[in-house]
Amino acid sequence: MDMDWDQLATVAQLVTGAATLAVAIFLAVQLRLQREDADRAHLDSVRNFDFGNEELLQDLVLTIVGDESTSELYWKAAFDWESLSSVEVQRFRWLQQAAYLNVWSAWMRKRDGDSVYRFRNQWSLLLEHPGQRRFHEKWGRNISQRDPVFSQIAEEVYEEMESQAA
């Protein structure tokens, strides 16, 4: 009879071991599915953020070119910086700062991977006119200096634009 109890204990241990293994496999599969769902949700979140960032840039551009008083202010600031009142300087400052932060956000998201082409082009647009470069000197560098490579691109474009203007 001892043998029967030993055999029964062995069978019970085997069944318990198999059940434990089945639970472990089940949990591993569930964790993998949850991880895949979380990865998908993260990618969706990144795409939504990138889309929102692009939409904000489009809205900013439309505000600058679509609203007559804002458009006049922007071009006055870009071409005749010295004639701006303190209120106009502040209005332009907020417009430019929004553009800088939009570019910074795209840079941080590595929207274009390691390519700097888009960012050089955007810096060329942001630093094209003398008043835009005055903004950069007063406030823009503080934004661009958050990352050495980002700042280097901005400064290279700034120097190119300044030398072309001279």
Q: What is the pLDDT of residues 37-87, one digit of tens each?
A: 777 777 777 677 667 767 777 777 777 888 899 999 999 999 999 999 999
- Checking if the pLDDT of 96 tops 90, the result is yes
Residue linked to tokens 């553009």: 99
CB-based burial label for 55 (10 Å; 0-12, 13-18, 19+)? exposed
- Looking at per-residue pLDDT, the higher value among 127 and 63 belongs to 127
For 12, half-sphere exposure in the C-beta direction (CA atoms, 13 angstrom radius) is 6
Residue type, 119: F
Average of per-residue pLDDT across 101-116: 80
Name the range with the highest mean pLDDT among 37-46, 66-75, 96-105, 132-141: 132-141
- Checking if the pLDDT of 113 tops 90, the result is no
Average of per-residue pLDDT across 126-132: 95
- Checking if the pLDDT of 108 tops 90, the result is no
pTM beyond 0.85, yes or no: no
List phi, psi (to 5°) of 47. -60, -45
Query: Is the Cβ–Cβ distance between 80 and 131 less than 8 Å?
Result: yes
DSSP 82: G
Q: What size, in residues, is the chain?
A: 166
Q: What is the pLDDT of residues 22-36, one digit of tens each?
A: 888 888 888 888 888
Query: Is the Cβ–Cβ distance between 127 and 96 less than 8 Å?
Result: no
Average of per-residue pLDDT across 145-154: 92
Task: State residue 75's pLDDT score.
Answer: 93
Query: Is the Cβ–Cβ distance between 165 and 122 less than 8 Å?
Result: no
Average of per-residue pLDDT across 104-128: 85
Nearest-angstrom CA–CA distance, 106 and 125: 15
DSSP calls for 60-75: HHHHHHHSHHHHHHHH
